[in-house]
Structure 1
Amino acid sequence: MKLKKLVLTGAAGRLGSYLREPLAAMCDELVSTDLVDDIGTLYAGERYAKADLASYDQIFPLLEGADMVIHFGAIVDEKPFEELLGPNFIGSYNIWEAAHQHGVRRVVYASSIHAVGMHKKADFIGIDAPHKPDTFYGLAKCFTEDLGSMYWDKRQLESVHLRILSAAQVNNSRALGSWLSYDDLIQLVTRAIDTPSVGFAVIYGVSNNDRCPVDNAKASFLGYRPKDNAEEFAEKVLAEEGPVDITDPGQMCHGGPFAKVDLGQSGLAQMNVVDDKKTT
């Protein structure tokens, strides 16, 4: 399926860096956008536009003529509410409202496990689990999921909300269940784009891990069939990490370190995320 135009927000981020090339191949024109001055070498059919998600006037013209928006732009950590308000809350509204005004068909949104991060991993929650955010960051994901649901119900703007667990190198025991490989990320986004009809949909972004703690059965209509499995890293990770504290909410809850930090305090600071951004 060759689309006319796609818009990718957060294109300068780590996950965005892996999406640019496959998205460019799916459309005649890919508009990549972020806050950096220069995104580097562009792929065939790609152009870059610097824009602030919190500014409707900057976002609105970028969506003109777009078939779909792949919305990955945001502050990707816990921060004080006031810092997240512009990019993570107002930014989502600006994307959905601009998409509606331009007649865009669908938004594919990088939601997060942190929308349900205070649920216990032992509960094996499905896509219909009630919101239970672990942070202001997770609250922004809840807000945007509800925004997408409302725009579908009231304005027939489709959206797929990808509750990504952890798309980063497997270097801790939590990631043995939560890992989303970059190849599976690309497949997940592709299925969110090429499924003929989605309405409002939620799906967990996670690979085919033996220890996967969530249930995607009710999202099977999207056709996402992950291939990678974090178990290949288990022996090394478990030997290095040793026993865990079973009273620690960071170990017991889906949100991991985000479930234990104080509101407004960085969750990423508690994690060893490797910046392996793809370079063109």
Structure 2
Amino acid sequence: MRKIVLTGARGALGTSLRGPLSKMCDQLVSTDIQPGPEGLYDNETFHIADIAKFDEIAPLLEGADMVVHFGAIVDEKPFEELLGPNFVGAYNIWEAAHRHGVRRVVYASSIHAVGLEHTNSGADTTVAHNPDTFYGLAKCFAEDLGRMYWQKRGVESVCLRILSCTPEPQNIRALGTWLSHRDMVQLVTRAIDSPVVGFTVIYGVSNNTRSPVDNAKAAFLGYRPVDNAEDWAHSLFAKAGIPDPQDKALTRLGGPFAVVPLGESGVAAIQKMSEGQKP
């Protein structure tokens, strides 16, 4: 592959992707609104750019085969704060991809696009959008944008509905939702090297015994996760105590994001859950 563009390259997940992506192409263009890292890979260049500004981000996509779009605010915020990076930024990526003939966009979507769906509903990749926050609404917008750009303009998309991507599972909810960094890298790799994807949604989740979602309809991508949050079950249950069966933070796919007021941090609520407090 000639060129891959990675947005959000300074984030936790973007940082984990830079090395693997650099091995998949002749040229890796990494970008973020923050300054670049101290060291770059031999075939990597870094550009400071605001994805909410078309004239800053669009030129970076020229000559690219694929865009791995992980750039966004990764928490619930007031709508006005999310509008630029999460809504307009998504439009800018797909529109620039179309104008420059980019083959595919690999997008970091989120479980929060369906966050108010019941945990025990067996949600597959065709379940209707059911966002839990403005943040989740932005993911719905981008997924619909990707579907439209495939059907109207032929730009392929793989939307990765990431659940809980951390080095280790942090709470009892994560026994089902955890995505290890190793599996995250495999997921992105399969989204890139699959020959034909059209428009595809897949859940970003590890091989958890208690996974609440079903990826069967995206099996053609070849994603076969290897890590399992069950290895942490004993210690997480000991820390959590007895769960409340009426707690929407446990009974909805979005976890604590399903219970926070619109515009207020869901990440802070997840931290409370991890500390054994009510979100």
Please classify the TM superposition score into its range, dividing by the shorter chain length.
over 0.9
TM-score by length of 1: 0.96
Name the counterpart of 1:155: 153
2:191 match: secondary structure? helix
Residues 177-201 of structure 1, C-alpha deviations (whole Å, 9 max, x = no match): 0000111001000000000000000
Q: State whether structure 2 residue 126 is matched by structure 1 residue 128.
A: yes
Superposed structure 1 runs of 4+ greater than 3 Å apart: none
Name the counterpart of 2:187: 188
For residue 121 of structure 1, what is the amino acid of its counterpart? Answer: T
How far apart, in 2, do the equivalents of 1:264 and 1:173 lie? 25
How far apart, in 2, do the equivalents of 1:171 and 1:201 lie? 29
Q: Percent of aligned positions with the same letter in both sequences?
A: 64
CA drift of 1:251 comes to: 1.1
Residues 128-174 of structure 1, C-alpha deviations (whole Å, 9 max, x = no match): 00000000000000000000000000000000000000001212000
CA drift of 1:39 comes to: 2.0
CA drift of 1:109 comes to: 0.1
User: Which residue among 85, 91, 94 is the counterpart of 1:93?
Assistant: 91
Q: Runs of 5+ in structure 1 lacking a partner?
A: 274-280
Q: State whether structure 2 residue 14 is matched by structure 1 residue 16.
A: yes
Q: Runs of 5+ in structure 2 lacking a partner?
A: 273-279
CA drift of 1:40 comes to: 2.0
Residues 22-74 of structure 1, C-alpha deviations (whole Å, 9 max, x = no match): 00010111000001123221012011000001000001110000000000000
1:103 match: secondary structure? coil
For residue 248 of structure 2, what is the amino acid of its counterpart? Answer: P
How far apart, in 2, do the equivalents of 1:258 and 1:39 lie? 31
Name the counterpart of 1:254: 253
Name the counterpart of 1:276: none
1:27 match: secondary structure? coil
1:8 match: secondary structure? strand
Q: State whether structure 2 residue 208 is matched by structure 1 residue 205.
A: no
Name the counterpart of 1:108: 106
How far apart, in 1, do the equivalents of 2:133 and 2:70 lie? 18
Name the counterpart of 2:74: 76
TM-score by length of 2: 0.96
Which of 181-190 and 32-41 deviates more? 32-41
Residues 3-40 of structure 1, C-alpha deviations (whole Å, 9 max, x = no match): 10000000000000100000001011100000112322
For residue 112 of structure 2, what is the amino acid of its counterpart? Answer: H
How far apart, in 1, do the equivalents of 2:33 and 2:57 lie? 12
How far apart, in 2, do the equivalents of 1:255 and 1:45 lie? 38
> Which structure is higher in RCO with an 8 Å CA cutoff and minimum separation 6?
1
For residue 189 of structure 1, what is the amino acid of its counterpart? Answer: V
Paired residues in the alignment total 271
For residue 50 of structure 1, what is the amino acid of its counterpart? Answer: I
